[in-house]
Amino acid sequence: QAIKVFVSSVIPTVGTDLLKAAGFTVSTWDNLTPIPRNILLGKAKESNALLATLTGRLDATFMDECKHLDVISNFGVGYDNIDIAAATSQGIQVGNTPGVLTDATADVAFGLMIAASRKMFYMHKKILEGNWKHFTPTENLGIELKNKTLGIFGLGRIGIEMAKRCKGSYNMKVIYHNRKRNTAAEELLNAKYVSFSELLQQSDVLSVHSAFTEDVRGIFDKAAFDQMKPASIFINTSRGGVHNEQDLIDALNNRKIWGAGLDVTNPEPMQKDNPLLNMDTVAILPHIGSATEEARNGMSRLAAENIIGFYQNGKVPNLVNPQVLQE
């Protein structure tokens, strides 16, 4: 009997085509809205492998009910939607899609930085409101980025690409804070490792690129923003849970920091009456970091290859829980 794969959202066809070509029986949630949990659970129960996305929370209860699954392949580089410890204890291999969305996401971080620094989204909104009045020498002033200090929180693949863009375009100095030092990246970027406090105190632009884990939940809170420079810009393209959104709003209102650019919010989706949407130095996007043709096709391919690799070689190529192999 053919292996059954359930794909829990609409994805670019390259992935589903690969799965079908590998001989699997593929079924898909064909609606653009997130799959309801009971349907996801029912489908997962009938399947051998699941290709999931970050809108579906796969918690310990899910793992308990679906312990028969061989593989969960997450369409995304982040996998904070999945209880990895629970998957591991049920013997389920979990895969993700790193690398293919690195440039796309770094582009969004870089774009948000420029947009915030020049109040671009807010100015656009003024035009839409019929408020393009006249050229005013002392109004609408932004700040420049040349020779400033870029602080990266979580210097991995995406952070490195953001740093390269900032160095190349603005000759920015790079400092970073990680759980573990990244000496290869230090050499590549001439980047300096600093403590979290130093990162807060020295960055003119502070860009978040870390994975979302419990130890970074809400780490950008009042205490953190209070340490930042009044002229600094906070950028988050990782996960909204890394920042405390009310504290961010307060920090901007109280001029603790100058601006912010967010591709991820806390919670998502952001409601349209959120005060951040009315601030001139803030630029917000609706979680589109990886939304390019190239990146999404690549993610679709890698997500499928994780499943195919498991059935061909017994191991998911981009495995995020290698501990499972020891169980």
Q: Which residues are catalytic?
A: 239, 268, 287
User: What's the min distance (Å) between Cβ of 81 and ligand GLV?
Assistant: 9
For residue 44, give the 3-state DSSP assignment: helix
For ligand GLV, give the closer residue by CB, 257 or 285. Answer: 285
Cβ-Cβ contacts under 8 Å for 269 (sequence gap 6 or more):
286
Q: What whole-number distance in Å separates Cα of residue 22 and Cα of residue 137?
A: 63
Q: Does 98 bind ligand GLV (CB under 6 A)?
A: yes
Q: What whole-number distance in Å separates Cα of residue 228 and Cα of residue 222?
A: 10
Q: Does 102 bind ligand GLV (CB under 6 A)?
A: yes
> For residues 204, 210, 216 and 217, what is the CA-based torsion angle, rounded to 10 degrees?
100
For residue 134, give the 3-state DSSP assignment: coil
Listed ranges 26-34, 73-81, 123-131, 310-318: which one lies at the site for ligand GLV (CB under 6 A): 73-81
Q: Does 82 bind ligand GLV (CB under 6 A)?
A: no
Edge to edge, what strands does the sheet with 4-7 contain?
25-28, 4-7, 49-53, 71-75, 93-95
CA contacts within 13 A on the Cβ side of 217: 5
For ligand GLV, give the closer residue by CB, 93 or 290. Answer: 290
> What x-and-dash track marks residues 201-220 binding ligand GLV by CB under 6 A?
--------x-----------
293: tokens are 């043709």
Q: Does 261 bind ligand GLV (CB under 6 A)?
A: no
Q: Does 301 bind ligand GLV (CB under 6 A)?
A: no
Q: Does 77 bind ligand GLV (CB under 6 A)?
A: yes
Site for ligand GLV (CB under 6 A): how many residues?
14
For ligand GLV, give the closer residue by CB, 54 or 283. Answer: 54
Cβ-Cβ contacts under 8 Å for 201 (sequence gap 6 or more):
227, 228, 229
Q: What whole-number distance in Å separates Cα of residue 281 and Cα of residue 121?
A: 8
User: What's the min distance (Å) between Cβ of 78 and ligand GLV?
Assistant: 3
User: What's the min distance (Å) between Cβ of 77 and ligand GLV?
Assistant: 4
Query: Cα–Cα distances in Å, from 16 out to 28, 215, 305?
Result: 9, 35, 10
Query: Cα–Cα distances in Å, from 234 out to 58, 185, 262, 280, 312?
Result: 30, 22, 8, 14, 44
Q: Does 15 bind ligand GLV (CB under 6 A)?
A: no
User: What's the min distance (Å) between Cβ of 9 and ligand GLV?
Assistant: 12
Query: Cα–Cα distances in Å, from 123 out to 126, 279, 280, 326?
Result: 5, 10, 7, 55
User: What's the min distance (Å) between Cβ of 290 and ligand GLV?
Assistant: 5
Q: Does 157 bind ligand GLV (CB under 6 A)?
A: yes
For ligand GLV, give the closer residue by CB, 157 or 167. Answer: 157
Interface residue with ligand GLV among 15, 56, 95, 159 (CB under 6 A) is 159
Interface residue with ligand GLV among 94, 150, 158, 185 (CB under 6 A) is 158
Contact footprint for ligand GLV (CB under 6 A): 54, 76-78, 98, 101-102, 156-159, 209, 289-290
